Amino acid sequence: MTKYIFITGGVISSLGKGIASASIAKILESRSLKVTLMKLDPYINVDPGTMNPYQHGEVYVTEDGAETDLDLGHYERFTKASMTKFNNATTGQVYNTVISRERRGDYLGKTIQVIPHITDEIKSRIKKVAQVSQAEIVLIEVGGTVGDIESLPFLEAARQFKLDAGEKNVLYIHLTLIPYIKVADEIKTKPTQHSVQTLRQIGIQPDILICRTEKQLSDEVKEKISLFCNVRKETVIESPDVESIYQVPLVFKGQILDEIILSHFGLISKPSNLKDWEKNVVERLFSPKQTVQVAVVGKYIGLQDAYKSIYEAITHAGISNQVKVEVKKIDSEDIEKYGPEKLLKGIGAVLVPGGFGGRGIEGKIKAIEFARKNKIPFLGLCLGMQCAVAEFARGACGLKDANSTEFKSKTKNPVISLLVEQKDVLELGGTMRLGAYPCRIKANTLAAKIYKQKFISERHRHRYEFNNKFRKKLESKGMVFSGIYQKRNLVEIVELKGHPYFIAVQFHPEFKSKPDAAHPLFSGLIRAAAEKK
């Protein structure tokens, strides 16, 4: 019998519900239980693929090519669960399905309503995840904050779920905030009381409260929360601010949250073992032997979530090299204004991430030129590779107006362009080259040294590709095409001869990096920066 844990959020957003969910999954997995996670998103978009990063943060791509919420990135980084298109459901998807069914005539004669039609569809999506993953425990994170109009159908489905799956097989966890009021020097439980009241009005009595707090919760405070929120005192879990998100599983384990959950479900399993995580992730993270600086030159620099997986992958690379990495976030438009010398002088490595649209492109190209000429370790991702190709074509091959047709459709030297099949695409949602594709690595190249494998598989999210008409020309000047998707003869990896670490890839390696298994392209970058120092 599958067990289900619903995780809701109260008081405010940005409390770290995704990290909390991933951390709970982690401690359960460390007890040899098979877990998976799912995110329910209340917005009406079918997926976040068409949203601006400022609206939504990063779009996380799964192996099967779904464009999903960035919390799925946390789920994959913390656990062994693999995410698929089933692991993220949005209001848009749910309504899309129900409305298509109605048009087909599947509900002939009936009025279609939120209850039961929408809630049935939500529940069936949750059951589908259980069935596809074969997990013993499915954790379902409900997006938004309790009290939002938008998330009501999801919460209603969560309430009903107990009737379908049975009392003993469903658990509700509510993540909430206990604010500290400085002038009164007091922590306040009232917002949490109200948030739990709202949940109870909907018919959900949380079993466990996870309290985000700056200050330690005294016994009295826990008793008060317990009394007013109708939860046992032992199940009031404290979640203080920590330096690294990777400490959170240890914080929960310290309060035997795994035991509390298993006893609710009546499950017996092996004791939890987080020793490796503690030793190989947390301890290494806090005992760096050296510091390096990496510049991330992008256009969504102001928003931490826009390049979430990239920043995490850089952290993982620091862990694996035992190096403290300071990330210098540089707006590529500032490079256009002030020049690369001013902003990149003395930097240990340069990373240019993916992106869409022409704004800031010339700044990225200038940063890449600076890294190429000054032999600074460089990693280009997706758009970062496309810019590296344009820069090399201009700077080393004399093709002055080399560009991607995404930015200059009439360029004489379209080094990056659309494949024929993309030229006829009219709809923007879900129509890029998405998900995992295989790639063959050329022997005796930097890529071969980094991957130590002949065949790899990486995730994609782009429309434009390297234009093979320019391959010979660029090759003759020292660009190496070290990774190819053979079936379509598409360039996946480029690198430069005579540079210590200059590599750029058409895919997104950041999605596969883990804290205890850093992605080799990232750990190679940090190693190269550390060695240079």
| Active site positions, annotated | 382, 508, 510
Q: Which residues contact 312 (CB under 8 A, 6 or more apart)?
A: 73, 77, 510, 513, 515
- Taking the least distance from each CB to ligand GLN, the nearer of 374 and 422 is 422
Q: How far is the CB of 425 from ligand GLN (least distance, A)?
A: 11
Q: Which residues contact 62 (CB under 8 A, 6 or more apart)?
A: 68, 72, 82, 83, 84, 85, 87, 435, 459
What order of strands is seen across the sheet that includes strand 479-485? 323-331, 290-298, 349-352, 378-381, 502-505, 490-496, 479-485, 433-441, 455-462
Name the one range near ligand GLN by CB under 6 A: 12-20, 121-129, 207-215, 461-469: 461-469
DSSP state of 396: T
Q: How far is the CB of 379 from ligand GLN (least distance, A)?
A: 13
The pair of structure tokens assigned to 96 is: 């899309």
**Residues 240, 284: Cα–Cα separation, whole Å:** 21
**Residues 336, 365: Cα–Cα separation, whole Å:** 9
Q: Identify which of 407, 425, 427, 426 has the alpha carbon closest to the alpha carbon of residue 417.
A: 407
- Taking the least distance from each CB to ligand GLN, the nearer of 67 and 136 is 67
Name the one range near ligand GLN by CB under 6 A: 67-75, 133-141, 455-463, 515-523: 455-463
Q: Pick from 316, 461, 512, 527 the residue near ligand GLN by CB under 6 A.
A: 461
Q: How far is the CB of 87 from ligand GLN (least distance, A)?
A: 21
DSSP state of 143: P
Number of other residues whose CB lies within 10 A of the CB of residue 256: 15
Q: Are 529 and 292 spatial neighbours (Cβ–Cβ below 8 Å)?
A: yes
**387-412 core/surface letters (b: 16 or more CB in 10 A; e: else):** bbbbbbbbbbbebeebbbebbbeebe
Q: Pick from 285, 330, 367, 383 the residue near ligand GLN by CB under 6 A.
A: 383
Name the one range near ligand GLN by CB under 6 A: 156-164, 184-192, 390-398, 458-466: 458-466
Beta bridge partners of 494: 481, 504
Q: Are 312 and 271 spatial neighbours (Cβ–Cβ below 8 Å)?
A: no
Could you say whether residue 459 binds ligand GLN (CB under 6 A)? no
- Taking the least distance from each CB to ligand GLN, the nearer of 95 and 437 is 437
**Footprint of ligand GLN on 346-375 (CB under 6 A):** 354-356
Name the one range near ligand GLN by CB under 6 A: 85-93, 256-264, 303-311, 460-468: 460-468
Binding mask 405-444 for ligand GLN (x = CB under 6 A): -x--------------------------------------
- The residue nearest ligand GLN at its CB is 354
Q: How far is the CB of 460 from ligand GLN (least distance, A)?
A: 8
Q: How far is the CB of 422 from ligand GLN (least distance, A)?
A: 9
Q: How far is the CB of 368 from ligand GLN (least distance, A)?
A: 14
**Footprint of ligand GLN on 230-259 (CB under 6 A):** none
- Taking the least distance from each CB to ligand GLN, the nearer of 222 and 462 is 462
What distances in angstroms separate CA 401 from CA 8, 332, 339, 364, 479, one per listed residue? 52, 19, 20, 15, 18
**Residues 413, 529: Cα–Cα separation, whole Å:** 33
**Footprint of ligand GLN on 100-119 (CB under 6 A):** none
The pair of structure tokens assigned to 300 is: 């969504």
**Residues 392, 410: Cα–Cα separation, whole Å:** 19
- Taking the least distance from each CB to ligand GLN, the nearer of 442 and 463 is 463
**Footprint of ligand GLN on 462-481 (CB under 6 A):** 462-464
- Taking the least distance from each CB to ligand GLN, the nearer of 277 and 437 is 437
Q: Give alpha helix (H) positions in 396-509.
A: 420-423, 446-451, 471-476
The pair of structure tokens assigned to 123 is: 């529940």
Q: How far is the CB of 504 from ligand GLN (least distance, A)?
A: 11
Number of other residues whose CB lies within 10 A of the CB of residue 342: 10
Q: How far is the CB of 101 from ligand GLN (least distance, A)?
A: 33
Binding residues for ligand GLN, how many (CB under 6 A)? 10
Residues 525, 530, 532, 533: is their CA dihedral positive or negative? positive
**Residues 243, 29: Cα–Cα separation, whole Å:** 23
Q: How far is the CB of 506 from ligand GLN (least distance, A)?
A: 8
- Taking the least distance from each CB to ligand GLN, the nearer of 253 and 461 is 461
- Taking the least distance from each CB to ligand GLN, the nearer of 206 and 354 is 354
Q: How far is the CB of 214 from ligand GLN (least distance, A)?
A: 37
Strands 403-404 and 433-441: unpaired
DSSP state of 514: B
Binding site for ligand GLN (CB under 6 A): 354-356, 382-383, 406, 461-464
